[in-house]
Amino acid sequence: MRQLLKNGNAEVLTDKTVTYKLYNSDNTTEYTGSDIKIASDGTLTVSSSAKPTDIYVRAISTDSNGKTLEKSVKVNVYNLKFNFTTSAKDGYTSVTSSTEYKESRGFGIDGTCADGEKLYERSEFWFLNLT
């Protein structure tokens, strides 16, 4: 990933560097977990063991007068392991027929069954009967 720092006239400042840090959901405490990391080039890596959370990625540099410049971006980290029952196993998110899709949630059931269709629950799966 190439980093560019520009001044107010959109001119690229070649003598400046950008550093990245992660902050907890309060955006004031530096993130110290090992399951989410950010590389020196700004690449964010999330391990499969990461729990759903909000973190902030903060880019830090200086302007031509030596003043510190910072920009924070909120990142939603989702654990995308689903269990289709009412009691999800540890590390899984429960999704049932009543879990309506919401953009803020990022997952759920979108839509309903058409007339004449029936929804059957069997163990950990949902079956749609089209007969």
- Among 6-10, 35-39, 55-59, 112-116, the minimum mean pLDDT is found in 112-116
The pLDDT score that the predictor gives to residue 113 is: 55
Three-state DSSP state, 14: coil
Report the pLDDT averaged over residues 48-59: 86
Residue recorded with tokens 């079956």: 127
Report the pLDDT averaged over residues 79-104: 77
> 54: Cβ–Cβ under 8 A, 6 or more apart, which residues?
25, 74, 75, 76, 77
The backbone torsions φ and ψ at residue 56, rounded to the nearest 5 degrees and listed phi first, read: -120, 135
The pLDDT score that the predictor gives to residue 117 is: 54
